[in-house]
Amino acid sequence: MSAEADAAGFPLRDLEEMRQRARDVLAGNDLGTMVTAAPNLYPHMWSWDAAFVATGLSTMSVARALQELDHLLAAQWKSGMIPHIVFSDVPGYFPDVERWGTRGASPEGVQSSGICQPPVHATLLRRIVERATAAGGEDARLAEEFTRRTLPQWIRWHAWLRSSRGGDGSGLLTIYHGWESGMDNSPRFDGPYSRVRPGKMEPFVRTDTLKVTDLSQRPSDEEYSRYLWLVQQMADVRFDDARLPGVMDFQVKDVFMSAIFAAANEDLAVLAEHIGLRGDAPRLREWAQEFREGVDATVDEQTGLARDRDVLAGEWIGLPTMAGFAPLISTADHSLLPRQLEIFEGPDWTGDPRLAFPLPASTSTTYEGLKPRQYWRGPVWPVMNWYLAGCLRRRGDEARYRRLREASLAQLMEGHFAEYYEPFTGEPLGSMDQSWTAAVALEWLADPDAADAG
C-alpha cells in the first residue's frame, strides 16, 4: 500500500468502517438522479452497473434504489432496448453521445449509447423487492407499486432481447460488440475482434488513458479502433436491429449473457406473480427454459466449460474465461454442476495457491494469455464474485456462498473499492471508488451472518 493510501486511512479497521466507506462512495458518486459508475473515469450511468448499484442503495433506502432504476428505464428505446450508457451532463468521457450518433434514436431528452448490456435487472429488482417486502410498511408499498408500474417495460426489454438478439432458436443471445457483454476486452473476443478491419473513421482521443495512466491496465489503441469501427457500423444503419446482422463485423453468441438472461426471465416471472399478473409468467418461464438449454448445450465435454460461438466464423470459442461458468447461473442440467464446481475450485481457478484471495479471476490463472493487470484479461472483479455467489446460494449452496463472501470481504478491507484487483497481489486497479464495488460491499454486509467473516 502506498504512503498516500496510508495517509487516507486505508486499509479499513473493521466491517463497520467498510460499511460507512461504501456508503460514502455511493453518496459521493450520486448526482441526485443517477449514481455515476465512478468519479472521473465513468461519470455516467451504465446499465448493468445501475442494477447492482440499486441493490446496494436498497440497503439504505428502497426509495432511492427504485429511483435509480426509474432513471435507467426512462432511457429505454421504443424497440424495448435498454442502452448500456445513459449520459449525464458531466463532460470529458469518450466516446460521447456525438460519437455514438444516437440523437433521434433514443427517447426525447435522453442521451444514450446505442447498444445494450447483460440483463441482470430483473434478478436484482427481485432482490430489492424481497428486501422491501421483508421490511414491510412503506418500503413494501413502494416496491410493489414500482414493480406493477414498470413490469411492462421490463417485459419489453426481455422481449427485445428474445426477438432481436435470440430469435433464431439457439437459446443464445447475439452481441454485436464486446462492450455489450460487459467484459469488454476478454480473451473470449480475441478471435472475432481479429477479423474486424476498421475503415475510414474520424480521429479519436481517448479519455480513459488520461485517468488510468498505467496503460497495462487498459485496452490498446488498436483494440479501441476496432471498438469504434463497430460503433460506426451500427450508427451507419441507425441502429436498425433488422439490418445489423447484414453489416456487423463482430457477431458472437454470448453464453454468459445468455445465462444471465435465462435467470432473469425466471426472476421476472416471480415478480409478475408477486403483483398478481400471472398471465405473463408462463411466457417468461418458456424463455428461461429455452436459454437454460441453450447455455447447457455449449458445454465442452473435454474442458467442462461453457463456450461462446463466433457467428461469422462458425466456430466455438472455448478459451478458459469466467464465461465458462455460465451454467452456475442458469443450468437446467444439474449433472453439469459437480464438474463445473470442481473446476471452479481447482488449481486453475479459485484453488490456485498463488492467489491473494480464493476468488475467481476473469480468466484462468494458468491461461498462457493471462494478463493479471488488464481489465477483463485476468483481474478479479468484486461485482462478479457477489453475483456468482448469489447464484450458488439460490441453488442452496450456502457453504460456497459463505466462502466467497468471507474472501470478498477480506479483499475489500483494503478500502479503495476498486474496479478490479490483481489476483496474486490483491492490488486495487482501474478506477477507485467504483460504485458497483461499493454496492456489493453493502450487500455482503447486509447479510445477517456477515459478521462471521470479520
Q: Which of 30, 184, 190, 249 is catalytic?
A: 184
> Does the structure show a pLDDT above 50 at 150?
yes
Using the structure block, give the residue that is written with the C-alpha cell 436484482: 124
Measured CA to CA, the distance from residue 98 to residue 91 in angstroms comes to: 12
Which region among 10-24, 96-110, 243-257, 336-350 has the lowest average model confidence (pLDDT)?
96-110
Which amino acid is present at 452? D
Beta bridge partners of 317: 308
> Does the structure show a pLDDT above 90 at 88?
yes
Measured CA to CA, the distance from residue 121 to residue 279 in angstroms comes to: 21
Measured CA to CA, the distance from residue 159 to residue 287 in angstroms comes to: 9
Specify whether the CB–CB gap between 183 and 322 falls below 8 A: yes
Cα four-point dihedral sign 89, 94, 98, 103: negative
Measured CA to CA, the distance from residue 105 to residue 300 in angstroms comes to: 40
**Structure confidence at residue 6 as a pLDDT band (50, 70, 90):** very low
**Structure confidence at residue 432 as a pLDDT band (50, 70, 90):** very high
> Does the structure show a pLDDT above 50 at 5?
no
Degrees to nearest 5, angle at CA 169 with 173 and 249: 45
Q: Which of 419, 422, 433, 443 is catalytic?
A: 419
Average pLDDT over residues 401-411: 98
Beta bridge partners of 321: 363
Average pLDDT over residues 16-33: 97
> How many other C-beta atoms can be found within 10 angstroms of the C-beta atom of residue 206?
14
Q: Indicate the DSSP class of residue 222.
A: H
**Structure confidence at residue 8 as a pLDDT band (50, 70, 90):** low
pLDDT (tens digit, 9 = 90+) per residue, 253-293? 999 999 999 999 999 999 999 999 989 999 999 999 999 99
Catalytic: 130? no
> Does the structure show a pLDDT above 70 at 103?
yes
Measured CA to CA, the distance from residue 396 to residue 337 in angstroms comes to: 13
pLDDT at 210: 77
> Does the structure show a pLDDT above 80 at 234?
yes
Q: Provide the grid cell at 387.
A: 453475483
Do you find a cis peptide bond into 11, omega within 30 degrees of 0? yes
Q: What is the mean pLDDT of the chain?
A: 94
**Structure confidence at residue 147 as a pLDDT band (50, 70, 90):** very high
What's this model's pTM, rounded to 2 decimal places?
0.95
> Does the structure show a pLDDT above 90 at 51?
yes
pLDDT at 452: 47
Average pLDDT over residues 299-327: 98
Catalytic: 68? no
Measured CA to CA, the distance from residue 191 to residue 148 in angstroms comes to: 43
Which amino acid is present at 284? L
> Does the structure show a pLDDT above 70 at 438?
yes
Measured CA to CA, the distance from residue 217 to residue 384 in angstroms comes to: 18
Contacts of 205 (CB under 8 A, 6+ apart): 94
Contacts of 4 (CB under 8 A, 6+ apart): none
> Does the structure show a pLDDT above 70 at 218?
yes
Q: Quick one: what percent of the chain has pLDDT higher than 90?
A: 87
